[in-house]
Amino acid sequence: MNRSENDPLFVSFLAGSIGQWKIDRISTVIGEGLEAAERLRVIEGSQVPDTTNSGWLLLGSTSNTRYSTRAEVDEMKAKQASLGREETTRAALIPIRKSAAWWELAQDERRAIFEDHSRHISIGVEYVPAIARRLHHCRELRGPFDFLTWFEYAPQYADVFEKLVHRLRATKEWDYVDREVDIRLSRR
Ligand code: HEM
């Protein structure tokens, strides 16, 4: 059966001594951190990898959008860049958990905080296509985080990415983030 672009894609992020990405640093933003490791393997597909002699393993899946309007989806699709481009030798894996207070809200209340107030999408699209992204959900998988956010960019956009992260962390949406770890990676 052919995969459609909207089908969930399972992705495993496995820390250890092997993998296509070198871990440059792991910073704890809020809550509990993650153990140091040398490299990260990003494995697409539903099979959970063998974790013998490995460090932490985070599992997530792409999913349908929750908050984006038709106009926002269309704008993102028109502008966004794909992952795995030759020049994007820097990446960030930022696992995030949101508080019980966030999950108690209704969908319309979350959308109001996420976009009407915090401008997450409006801010984000300013950085596309320089920053390529993929959002993985994991709340339903009972992992330690709710989201595994993944970004790829060329080295000349490292400062630009820093600015983006800084702007988003200053929004009301981030008042609901109770665990966040910022993992920066490079290849070649
Ligand atoms: C490259 C620029 C970015 C763009 C264009 C962007 C865009 C988006 C969009 C459209 C969604 C909502 C998808 C939906 O409708 O469900 C989303 C969700 C999310 N983004 Fe971003 N984003 C960007 C950067 C970031 C960064 C840097 C972070 C982390 C530091 C981040 C963390 C998240 C999280 C955690 C969610 C899930 C929110 C939730 O469902 O509660 N995003 N992003």
The partner residues of 92 in beta bridges, in order of sequence, read: 151, 184
pLDDT score of 188: 74
3-state secondary structure of 14: strand
How far does the centroid of ligand 1 lie from the alpha carbon of residue 75, in Å? 14
Q: Which amino acid is at 115?
A: E
The tokens for 106 are 């209704």
Q: State the pTM of this model.
A: 0.97
How far apart are the C-alpha atoms of 145 and 167, rounded to whole Å?
21
Nearest CA to ligand 1 atom 37: 147
**Dihedrals φ, ψ of 131, to 5°?**
-105, 120
Query: From the CA of 53, how far away is ligand 1's center (Å)?
Result: 32
Q: What is the mean pLDDT of each run of 10 residues along the chain (188 residues)?
A: 81 97 98 98 94 95 97 97 97 98 98 98 98 97 96 98 98 98 95
Distance (Å, rounded) from C-alpha 183 to C-alpha 15? 11
Number of the ligand 1 atom closest to the C-alpha atom of 80: 5
Say if residues 171 and 136 touch (Cβ distance below 8 Å).
no
Q: Are 41 and 14 in contact (CB under 8 A)?
A: yes
Residue 2: its pLDDT value, please? 62
